[in-house]
Structure 1
Amino acid sequence: MARPFQPSRALSQNFLTDRATAEHLARLAVPNGRRPPLLLEVGAGKGALTTTLAPRCREVRAYEIDPRLLPLLRARFLDAPRVTIVGGDFLRARPPRTPFSVAGNVPYSRTAEIVDWCLRAPALTDATLLTQLEYARKRTGDYGRWTLLTVRSWPRFEWRLVGRVARTRFRPVPGVDAGIIRIERRRAPLLDPSGYESWRRLVELGFTGVGGSLHASLRRAHPGRRVSAAFRAARLDPGVLVGEVPPERWLALHEVLAS
């Protein structure tokens, strides 16, 4: 008698079991009328999301790191020519050179690494990821605060919280609810490559926290009078904390301080 499958805590396995949620996530990842030539799925698990993605894409490469799940997946998608099951760690995959999308129910313990992989992939067009709700809210400014990663990448990528999923729609049931985060590469970057480098330096300087306020941190590299002029242009109070500054206001700061 075969032993029942035991999810791996080491792999942060919480399988999506709700079909309606899988359908909703697939619609967010591949809106009607848009058929990506290639979509990479992070952590196919038992194939719940793969099933809903396949009809919407020209090709799905579904990555699964747990070798115990590969026979099940390959049997399930044996007659699905658009689906390729790839055994192995998604993070070791070489990013495709042609435009591609990413979607998946992300292992919570590896979310940061997977997002970093996506942001570094030159041909990535978008990523739709099911993550811990707290992570999704932090990265998209839903708490009214913004993180270094989001602000630094903002000229090239738009971050949005596009859904919430109750923890009861997973097995085993995790301790927290999930959020659906959508990261889209801008068709026209907000800054050119030379401008992005000065943007990166400015944002990283601001997030050092030295001096107790953003105004004080920026004065380490710019004259106080110019910093004050930049704050007026961005309509910011000099005492504002760095995390409270939306990306759009950073663009106004950069326009003054990088000129």
Structure 2
Amino acid sequence: MARPSRVSRALSQNFLTDRAAAARFARLAVPDPGTAPLLLEVGAGKGALTELLAPRCRRLLAYEIDERLVPVLDARFSSAPQVHVVAGDFLAASPPRTAFSVAGNVPFSRTAGIVDWCLRAPALTDATLLTQLEYARKRTGDYGSWTLLTVLSWPRYEWRLVGRVGRSSFRPVPRVDAGILRIERRRAPLLASGAQHGWRHLVELGFSGVGGSLHASLRRASPRHRVDAAFRHAGLDRTVLVGAVSPERWLRLYEVLAPCP
């Protein structure tokens, strides 16, 4: 059997070895120690983050897909009653039915799947993930532009870039720096549940590119005068690129263009 210290390229493993960075991540993932009833850790690895997350939550499920590392984790946390090591793929797990959080140094190649799993989990309260910095910046509008996924989920989730971790903090050293991405479910959604279908239709139409501009795309579903009024209400120029429209301005567009009940 291969030694646990070896890294699996197939699993996209980059272990966080900077303890100061790990401690900062733990504080961001669970700001108030003891208040997280259930935390799921994605990719526990050798337990660098697990060790710092465990004292901050009442129960921690540490998922690890690499079977070579599971005995290491079991031995390391055998005296920590709140830690339960789960051998297997996090993405194959059924989401808990009670409120829970997610945290972890996610394999960069699996980031999209893990984020999608989190957004689909009805009882998720928040997720704090170490991802490629570029991914975190794109999803949070840090480049001054916004993605379809972020805008679609914005009425229910807030996306924030809350920190950065240099590539030298990992072993092996990845080619890029990492970002700490924080996704939080809003206590009160910005739109009623019945509005989700209309919101999705509007946003997906806007991002479709049909017509060559956002204004032209939206005119496929609404008269020009309504689209003009919506752009004025949102404070947008008719030539604006779709990626440059913030989620808040999308909400103002929806206020005018929402389907009639």
**TM-score normalised by length of structure 1:** 0.98
Whole-angstrom distance in 2 between the partners of 1:223 and 1:124 = 39
Three-state SS of the structure 2 residue aligned to 1:112 is: helix
Structure 1 residue identity aligned to 2:207: F
**1:88 Cα deviation from its structure 2 partner:** 0.1
Structure 1 residue identity aligned to 2:186: R
Please name the residue that 2:43 is paired with. 43
Contact kept, 8 Å, 2:132 with 2:179, in 1: the verdict is: yes
Whole-angstrom distance in 2 between the partners of 1:19 and 1:215 = 49
What is the percentage of aligned positions where both structures have the same residue? 76
64-73 vs 24-33, greater mean Cα deviation? 24-33
Deviations 1:72-128 (A, max 9, x none): 000000000010000000000000000000000000000000000000000000000
**1:4 Cα deviation from its structure 2 partner:** 7.0
**1:32 Cα deviation from its structure 2 partner:** 2.4
The Cα RMSD (Å) is 1.1
Aligned ranges for residues 167-206 of structure 1 at < 5 Å? Answer: 167-206=167-206
**1:34 Cα deviation from its structure 2 partner:** 5.8
Please name the residue that 1:162 is paired with. 162
Whole-angstrom distance in 1 between the partners of 2:255 and 2:249 = 10
Whole-angstrom distance in 2 between the partners of 1:70 and 1:159 = 32
57-66 vs 188-197, greater mean Cα deviation? 188-197
Contact kept, 8 Å, 2:102 with 2:126, in 1: the verdict is: yes
Please name the residue that 1:151 is paired with. 151
**1:197 Cα deviation from its structure 2 partner:** 1.4
Whole-angstrom distance in 2 between the partners of 1:177 and 1:108 = 11
Please identify runs of 4+ aligned residues in structure 1 that moved more than 2 A: 2-5
Please name the residue that 1:238 is paired with. 238
Q: 1:211 to 1:68 in 2, by over 3 A?
A: same
Three-state SS of the structure 1 residue aligned to 2:10 is: coil
Please name the residue that 2:111 is paired with. 111
1:77 and 2:74 aligned: no
Contact kept, 8 Å, 2:131 with 2:181, in 1: the verdict is: yes
Q: 1:4 to 1:253 in 2, by over 3 A?
A: closer
Three-state SS of the structure 2 residue aligned to 1:86 is: strand
**1:35 Cα deviation from its structure 2 partner:** 1.3
1:254 and 2:254 aligned: yes
1:101 and 2:101 aligned: yes
Matched residue count = 258
Structure 2 residue identity aligned to 1:134: E
Three-state SS of the structure 2 residue aligned to 1:233 is: helix
32-41 vs 233-242, greater mean Cα deviation? 32-41
